[in-house]
Every structure is written in structure tokens, then in C-alpha cells.
A and B are shown apart, each in its own frame.
Chain A
Amino acid sequence: MSEAIVDINNLVFRYGATEVLHSISFRLNKGEIIGLLGPNGAGKSTTIKIISGIMAQTSGHVSVCGLSLPESAITVKERIGYVPEAAGLFESLSGQEFLELSGRLHDVEEETLQARIKSVLDRFGLSNDRLRRLESYSKGMRQKILIGAALLHNPQLILLDEPLTGLDVDAQIMVKDLISALARDGKTILYSSHILEVVERICDRVLIIHKGDLIADASVQQLRASTQQANLEDVFRQLTHKDGAPESDMSGIIEKLRS
């Protein structure tokens, strides 16, 4: 059995009176790329924030790299790389300065840090823009900086929340290749996205969260076989729209707009 990097048992998260996650359990193994899917508001980002030690669960057991959360959140944070969805940046810093800040906060030695920053900037095609302030960066360039910042300290677990947002086609291909390469290097990657084709292509396993419940935990092939659907999009649709097809809702909206 592979080494478990993340082990979650009966995870419950409540925000005020609202229960966001209802007793979910799963594990992520070393070297795996796991897709985390779910409709908007399903609890994906909350799950990622709990795994990254940013938020504490209401109940249940969460361990990352053998360390319990939230007790060992500090040590866990040193071992993960996190690319948040739609994160703010220090706009008055340049791309180079932001990467330096991130790397230094993770205590990467200066020579190593500078070499890694150069490599990241070169690979992402940002070398010529490295001295420009982030406020002048496009959405895609910011996303590249965020991804780069998450990798500088060579983390064991990488949490990607919609990492391809805003990236052009070339950069998307590059990030996908990067994810595969990182997995081959033994990193574990939890990849949250709404772009199902990408998840289908690169992920070894898929977790689907719907309304706070984990409704699927299997490989894409297994899911296709069990639901008898041709692709992940149809699998997703079948599993998350059991209570009514979305088309009927759309036709209702059109009728209202016409009236």
C-alpha cells in the first residue's frame, strides 16, 4: 500500500449554523494526482484550506505527512505548496520581489532561492517582466507567479485551487506537464478544478464533493464504468444532478426572460 500523505476521516466543518462538510473521508497517496471536483459551493475550497492548515475542522481527523491537524498546522505549512483561487497579491511588489518574499518566508537559502526563482521565471516566460510591479501584470501572469511561489520551497504536497484560471493555452499545457513531472518526482498533488477534460487527462483519481458530501472517490476509468458514461463530464452530470436536469431550469429562465 502506498504511503498516505493526506489522511482524512469523518471530516466535518461548520460555519456558524451551516454545515459545509458532512463527515467526509479519503486519503491521498504519495506521487498521486487527485482531482477534486464539485459544483460551486460544494466545499472544495474549504477542504483544501483545512488540509493546508489555514482553517481548523469542526470535528474529524485530518493528518498531512503524518502530522495531525490543526495541532501541527505550523509544520504542515512548511511542507505544502498552496495556489489559492483568486488570491490577492502585494501589487506594489514586482514579480521577482514577491517570489523572494515567499521563498524567504519558507526559509529557502538565498543562493538556492535565486536559482529557483530564475528557473521559474524562465520557464513561465516572465524573465523580461520580473522587475515590473504585479499591479501591471495580466491575470495569467499573476497566476504564473502564484504557481511559482507555491513551488519554491520544494513542498511534498501541492494544493492547486483552479490553477489554470487566466492562463493562455501554452501556459496551460506547461502547467499540466509540470504537474505530471512533479508527481513523477514523488509529489502529491490535489487539483481542484471545473475544467473536467484536464482532470480526466492528468488525474490518477477523482474525488467529487457535492453539497458537503463525498459522493465519488475512484479513478476516471472506474467512474466511467460504474456510471456507464462516456466521459467525466457526463459522469459528473449524472452524479451531481440526480435531483433534476439543468436543461429544464435553463428553459425556465428563457421563458421568464421572454415574458
Chain B
Amino acid sequence: MNGTLERLSDGIQKRLQGPLFSRVLSRFGVNPKRYWLLLDLFEKLSKRGEMQGDLGRQRHALALSTVYFVIFSAIASLMAVIIQARAWVFAGVMLTVMTFTLMAALLSEAANSLVNPQEALSLSHQPINGATYTAAKLSHLLRIVFYSALGCNFLPSLVLPFLPAGTWFYPVLNLFLAMVVGILIALFCCSLYGLLMRVVPARRMKSASQFVQAIPLALYGLLQFSPRGTMRRLFASAASYVAPLAQVPVWLLATIGGTAAIAITVVGLRSLSADYLIRASAMVHGHSTATTRVRRSLLGEVVHYLFGGQGGRAGFDYMKRMILRDWQFRRRLLSFIPLLFGVFVGFLRSGFRSPFDQGFTGAHLLPHGLGFLLYMSCLLMNHGTDYKGVWLFLVIGDRAIVQFAKGVHASLWLMFVVVPNVVLLPFCVWRWGLATAAAFTVFSIAVSSVYLIFGLRNLEGVPFGKQVAPGSETQGQGGFRFLVFMILAMIAVGVQYLVFRSPAAVAVVTIMLIVSAVILTRWAINSFTTAMRHHLGNLSQTSSMLYTEVNTG
């Protein structure tokens, strides 16, 4: 099967390399010969793990995400058949879901390709024009569009003729529409960064791109979790401002809107193709002008005295700074915005109801929300932008590595467990009284500490010490771990709901959790230390320190 697909892919590529497609490329200012050379180069770099994580070039990772889409669309199709949804409504819903998902994925992918162009530095002195480079660099986005559009819409297309108001040509029409919408989204995402490059200084591009990536996710969070009626009121308010436009014919509005959209996209794409390689260096080497502050951190002092001396303080400061500053980490953490938004809004909507109240309250979710954030952050912390600096850990003693591990744990515990709970404590005291608030805070800290243990187990070496490369193995393991984690977290939420019916039960469970956390933390720190040693051992003995023998056969 794989062989057939490979042959099919090679056949298509050979056709594309022919004179017809070359003429099309040339019309857009792309040099066909160099375009194919660059595509070949990026493919090779990606296979050898040298490229920054591009989903479109990681075939296995892309296949895995397509499988998730297929499972989701299969369930949706089954439900549509059962409830006999109208064909065009169902198709519209699936297209909307695809649009949201694809927009978030492509904004992130395009940012990684365009705003962090490591390869461009090596190529910027070569006679390659911006159009050729960006065309080659962004071609993989089309593969993401193809896989996602097919994964999300293939099964729904098959069931469309069997739904009310469905006809025989709907499957072809739906798939065609999905591809067109996908390509338009890809073009829009690329043009967006093109426009940004026109107006934002190169050194600010990384921050600006993070802001752009956060917009659809924040919107999604707003749509999903805002109090009932908020969106309707917002739309009504917006509609009142544009009410005079109701007098204008729809076809005229559509024409003006469409022309503006096309113009914006074309201007954006032209910005990318014009002088991209000249800006690449400034973007990669672009830096924040903000200086750091020399401040003796009080928490740093605490870590120094309680969690492993100077090495512990090094771990604490390292984590604190990298969490706030590492571009890859921040970029990947953005995808959790909707969920965090949801937990926060859920807590507010429950009106700070006491966890001892009848029924399910936001307080039941809070420790687990923090736990989820910790767990996923630890997963993401394995990779970073400054992974090349990790050599520093090769020339330190083993005692320092143990102390550093303790410092890393302390930083995560203080920043993600203690500080949020302590910040919430005054509100809890205000709403629930001192006894309930104190009991809940101690319980929440104990639960989050247990989650941290699972998070630490996910650190596979020096935090932020590996290059981002979402291979199939990592994606698969990540997906499986996430699934197991979610099931366990749901069970934990249920148990908490039952426990908070009796103060005595809360006291007993809290003590049990504290004891478990203390014992298991030692085990987790040991495992983490071993993982760091293993990572550094690999680093010192493998190709990256010498040279890589490439199997050219």
C-alpha cells in the first residue's frame, strides 16, 4: 500500500516537474528549477530531523492527525444519519469545523515556516528570489490542506446523498468546496504574515505572530465558554453599527468584500515574495530590545535553601526565564488557550460556589485544570528554540544535575501549584469562609502536586533542550498519553465530587494525597535526573557532536 502511494506520489511529482507546471510557476515569479531543488532540500532536512517541526513534511504525524479527523467525522456522520440532519446543514457544519481547525493549524505552521526561517539564513546569499523560496517553504501547507480536507469531509460527503435534501452530486461538490476553502485559508494565512512583515519591525515578528495565532483560539474559547447570550448580544451590537449597510444590495456588498479580500491576500502574498530573504536574517536574529532586570528573586532564595543549593537556584531561574521567553514553547502553549479559558470561565460562572455545596461546581475542576496545564506544559518543555545551548550541561558534575532537577521541580511546583492557589485563597476566604477556603486550598495544592509528578515523568531530558520535530513516534505517544491522562483526570474529578460531601473525607484524602505526593516526588525527580543524564549522554556520544553519516544509498 505504502509502495503504491509512494509510486503515485513520484508519478505526480514527475508530471508537476514538466513544462506545463513550470510555466505556471514562472508566471508567478518562481524559478521552477530552484523551486524543485529547494523542495528536495527541505524534504531531506525534514527526514533527517533538521527542519523545525513542519507538520506537512512529517508524513506519519500528518497521517495520525488525519486519522483523528476521520474518527471525528465518522462519529459526526453517524449522528447526522441517526438524527436525519439536512444535507446542506451537515455539510456546512463540517466545513465550519474544518475552517476553524485548519485556520489554527495553518496559522501556526505558517508562523513556524515564515517567522522562524532557520534554513533561510543558509540560503539568503544564494541567487534565490523571495517568491521561489516562499513557494517552496510553503508548499507543505497544501499537503496539510489536502489531508485535513479529506480527513474531515470524506465520510460526511459519502453520507450526504442519504440525508434529507441530499442529491447525488453533493459528495463531489462538498469535497471540491472543502479543497477550495482549505486553499483559500492557506493563502489567507500566508498573506497575513506577509502583511505583518510590512507593518511590524522584523525583531517584533515573533511576538506579533504569536498574537495572530492566539486570535482564532481565543475566539473559539469565547464562543464555546462565554455566558449564554453574550455572543448574541455582541452580534446584535455589531449589527446595529452596520445597520445602514442593509440598504446596499447584497451583490454589491459581496463584490466589495470579495475584492477587498482578494486585494489584501494578493498584497500579503506579494510582500512575502518580494524581499523575504532579505528580512529572514533580521527575523531570526531579531531580538527584543527589552533588557532584563537584575533582581534577587525571593523564591530563588527559598529554592536555594530548601531545594538543592546553587544548582537548585540555577534550575529555578532557568525554568522561570525559559517558560516566559522560549518562542517555540509559547507558540505551542497557545493551543491550550480555549481549555484554560473554559476552566476559568467555568469557575467564574459557578459564582465561586463552595465545593461543599450540592451539585457540581467550578471548584471541582480547578485543581485538575492546573494539573492539566502542568502536564501539557511539561510535555511541551522537552523542546525549545535554544536547544543548542544545552552543551553547557555536558560540562557540569552529576551533583549539579541532581540539584538542577530539584530546582526545576521546585520552580514548577511554586509557579504552577502554590502561587495560583495562594492567589485564589483570598477570594475563596471571602466567598466560603476561612475553614472551607483553607481546606480546599490545601486539597488543591496536594492534587496539583500529584499531577506535577506525572508531568515530571514526561520530561525526557534537559527542559527546552531538544529541537522541535514532531515525528510519528512523538505524536503517537503524545496522543496516547493525553488520552490516558484525560480519562484519569475525569475519574479524579468524579472522586473529588464525592469526597467533598464530607469534611472528614476531605481531611483524610488530603493527608493521603500529601503523603503520596512527597513519596512520589522523590521518585519522579530521580526519573527526571536519569532522563537528563540519558539525554546528555546521547548528546555527547552521537552525531550532533561530531558529524552525521548520511545513508545515501
Interface residues in chain A, defined as those with a beta carbon under 8 Å from any beta carbon in chain B:
15-16, 20, 46, 49, 52-56, 74-75, 77-78, 80, 82, 84, 87-94, 96-97, 100-110, 113, 130-133, 135-136, 149
Partner of B395, one of A80, A93, A131: A80
Whole-angstrom distance between the alpha carbons of A100 and B311 in the complex?
10
Secondary structure type dominating chain A contacts: mixed
Q: Is the CB of B321 within 8 A of A93?
A: yes
How many angstroms between the C-alpha atoms of A52 and B326 in the bound complex?
29
B-side binding surface: helix, strand, loop or mixed?
A: helix
Q: Is B47 an interface residue (CB 8 A)?
A: no
Interface string of B375-391 (1 = CB under 8 A from A): 00000000001111111
Which residue of the partner chain, among B317, B318, B321, B540, contacts A49 with CB atoms under 8 Å?
B540
**Chain A residues whose CB sits within 8 angstroms of the CB of B409 once the complex forms:** none
Interface flag for B255 (CB, 8 Å) = no
| B287: A residues at CB distance < 8 A | 91, 132-133, 135-136
Q: Is the CB of A49 within 8 A of B291?
A: no
A133 to B391, CA, bound (A): 19
Contact B304 A88 (CB under 8 A): no
With the chains together, A137 CA to B304 CA distance in Å?
29
- B541 within 8 A of partner (CB): yes
Contact yes or no, A82 B291, CB < 8 A: no
Q: What are some 17 contacts across the A-B interface (CB < 8 A)?
A: A15-B546, A54-B394, A87-B391, A89-B388, A89-B389, A92-B321, A92-B325, A92-B386, A94-B291, A101-B317, A105-B314, A106-B400, A107-B309, A132-B291, A133-B287, A133-B325, A136-B287
Chain A contacts of B285 at CB under 8 A?
135
Nearest 6 pairs between A and B by C-beta? A88-B388, A104-B314, A92-B325, A90-B389, A136-B287, A131-B291
Given A91-B385, A131-B293, also A101-B545 (CB < 8 A) = no
B: interface residue count bin: 35 or more
B392 lies within 8 A of chain A by Cβ? yes
The reply to whether A105 and B317 form a contact with Cβ atoms under 8 Å apart is no
Q: Which B residues are in CB contact (< 8 Å) with A87? A: 388-389, 391
B254 at the interface (CB under 8 A from A): no
Choose from B317, B388, B391 the contact partner of A97 (Cβ within 8 Å): B317
Inter-chain contact B389/A105, CB cutoff 8 Å = no
Once the chains bind, are B395 and A54 in contact (CB under 8 Å)? yes
- Residue numbers of B with Cβ under 8 A of A are 285-289, 291-294, 304, 309-311, 313-314, 317-318, 321-322, 325-327, 385-400, 403-404, 540-541, 545-547, 549
**Chain A contacts for B327, CB-based, 8 A:** 92
CB neighbours of A84 from chain B (8 A): 391
Given the complex, which residues of B lie within 8 Å of A101, measured CB to CB?
A: 314, 317-318, 392
- Of B313, B314, B390, B547, most buried by chain A (CB within 10 Å of CB) is B314
- Say yes or no: A74-B397 contact (C-beta < 8 A), given A84-B391, A92-B321: yes
The reply to whether A110 and B310 contact each other, CB–CB distance below 8 Å, is yes
Chain B residue numbers with a CB within 8 Å of A52 are 394-395
Q: Are B394 and A91 in contact (CB under 8 A)?
A: no
Closest chain-A Cβ to B40's Cβ sits at a distance in Å of 26
Does B326 lie within 8 Å of A77, measured CB to CB? no
- The answer to whether A109 and B310 have CB atoms under 8 Å apart is yes
Closest chain B residue to A20, Cβ basis: B546
How distant is the Cα of A110 from the Cα of B300 in the complex, in angstroms?
Answer: 11
CB <8 Å contact, A49 and B389: no
